Amino acid sequence: MILATLGRRDYGPRPMDWRLKALGFRLLDLPGGYSAHFWLQRHVTKTWPRPDKRLFSFPEKADALIDDCVKHIGQRPETVLEIGAGRDLSMPLALRRAGIQRIVSSDIRRHARIDLVNHAASKLLDNRKVFDNFDDLDQFGITYLAPHYVSPDDGPVDCSCSNEVLEHVPASQLPVLLRALRKVTRGLTVHNIDYSDHYARSDSSVSRMNFLRYSSEQWRKFNSRHQYVNRLRHSDYLRFFKAAGFQIVYETTMPGEPIDGVADEFQRYKPDDLFAMKGRIVAI
């Protein structure tokens, strides 16, 4: 057995056991964990700066949002509110590239860094504009608000959006957020949501639906502040949007692979809803 192991060729990195990764995220919940998390992302996993392939997906997302506005309300938006700004403001930069005049990008924590913004801008903006600070960015047409919770008292916008953000909002907070969006959004709200198990991104040995095997009580120990997911399904979001006063004008899902042995609390969902991997909701 030992000889067989020593003689085996390693053709690439083995997947990290998702439970070990979950433990690592729980350790990052300790004081100093936020800074440590970013250091690991930048120097170990090297997820920042964002790879070019991911950066170049944002112009397509920006164009899709504008197309939705033209299709459903008959005009391009002049102002857009983004929920969940992230670290490099790629979506606001892509929207400015597409000609949107003013983007407000909000986040509940101040994640963005001007060096990462400039890296994204060097790829997404034809003039390779460099921003000295966030005031300079504001003059360009992108207002960064963080930490900030969207409020009904915020100024009105033509469109609001998020990209793989709503799955990280606790179910108890989602109605509050959506009611605020309903108040400030004059036109469309457009959201791309990832319904899959995020741990499975780095552990190919488990299904992208793996987290559905666990009850809420069981899953709590794996659900850290840095990798929190609410595990809501597509139908749950549709219900929350409608309860907030939105009318759904378009919704779609991307199917995932069904699994056996889901927890009792998920048994009530229809299979196409339960095993949806991604979704897009457009509402007015």
Sketch out the chain's domains with CATH numbers: 49-194+229-255+277-283 (3.40.50.150)
Exposure string (b/e) for 241-275, b if CB count within 10 Å is 16 or more? beebebeebebebeebeeeeebbeebeebeeebbb
- Does position 237 have pLDDT exceeding 70, yes or no? yes
Helix axes 234-243, 174-184, angle to 10 degrees: 50
19-23, 54-58, 134-138: which has the minimum mean pLDDT? 19-23
pLDDT reported for residue 35: 63
102 vs 18: which has the higher pLDDT: 102
pLDDT reported for residue 5: 27
Could you give the percent of the chain with pLDDT greater than 70? 83
- Model confidence at 243, pLDDT cuts 50, 70, 90, reads very high
- Which residues contact residue 121 at a Cβ distance below 8 angstroms, ignoring those fewer than 6 apart? 93, 128, 129, 130, 131
pLDDT reported for residue 271: 97
Q: Distance (Å, rounded) from C-alpha 134 to C-alpha 114?
A: 7
Q: Which two tokens mark 70?
A: 């033209």
pLDDT reported for residue 10: 36
- Model confidence at 43, pLDDT cuts 50, 70, 90, reads low
- Model confidence at 41, pLDDT cuts 50, 70, 90, reads low
- Does position 32 have pLDDT exceeding 90, yes or no? no
Q: What is the pTM of this model?
A: 0.85
- Model confidence at 204, pLDDT cuts 50, 70, 90, reads confident
- Does position 3 have pLDDT exceeding 50, yes or no? no
